[in-house]
Amino acid sequence: MVAFRINSREVTFDGDDGTPLLWVIRDALGLTGTKYGCGAGECGACTVHVNGRARKACMMPVSAVAGRSVVTIEGLASSDDVLHPVQEAWLEHDVPQCGYCQAGQIMAAAEFLQRNPNPTDEDIDKDIDVLCRCGTYPRIRKAIHRAAELMGEQE
């Protein structure tokens, strides 16, 4: 049995401890915001936070999160009424086209901005490694810069 926190809630998983975290999140816990994209850790659609760090859930066995805290896109906002600044910026800049990668993009950007609160376009291009098949990268960059401004205003 693997016990961990997900979106501030204590959970346990009684299945195979080698099961990828992605499938535990989606199938066992019913949180479907985290997407399956490639299953090889390349596309980033499955990005979640584990103890505050962006991780690809398709490549991480659930045993690796034992005793840790996991945050998915469903748990990023502080409440139903207060979105995370990255989510606000995503809406403001109308970032999604098809939307499939957006949960991974948002999760990667939120963690990235904790490490780099004033990024350049080059920083964003280097560090945000979530694939967008629709090519909305210019809007993603604008939204990350806007989210950095919003986060700065909260301090």
The confidence score (pLDDT) of residue 3 equals 98
- Give the helix ranges, DSSP H, for 10-100: 21-23, 73-76, 85-92
The confidence score (pLDDT) of residue 42 equals 94
The confidence score (pLDDT) of residue 54 equals 98
Is it the case that residue 155 has pLDDT exceeding 80? no
> What stretch of H or E contains 50?
strand 47-50
Is it the case that residue 154 has pLDDT exceeding 90? no
What average pLDDT does range 96-101 have in this prediction?
A: 90
Assign 79 a pLDDT band (cuts: 50, 70, 90): confident
**pLDDT by residue (tens digit) across 19-70?**
999 999 999 999 999 999 999 999 999 999 999 999 999 999 999 999 999 9
**Most distant pair of Cα atoms in the chain: their distance:** 44
When the pLDDT of each residue in the chain is averaged and rounded to a whole number, the result is: 96
The confidence score (pLDDT) of residue 102 equals 95
Show the 3-state SS of 90-153: HHHCCCCCCCCCHHHHHHHHHHHHHHCCCCCHHHHHHHCCCCCCCCCHHHHHHHHHHHHHHHHH
**Beta-carbon count within 10 A of 120 CB:** 11
The confidence score (pLDDT) of residue 99 equals 86
The confidence score (pLDDT) of residue 110 equals 98
Query: Higher confidence at residue 125 or residue 78?
Result: 125
> What stretch of H or E contains 5?
strand 2-6
Assign 80 a pLDDT band (cuts: 50, 70, 90): confident
**Sign of torsion, CA 6 10 30 61?**
positive
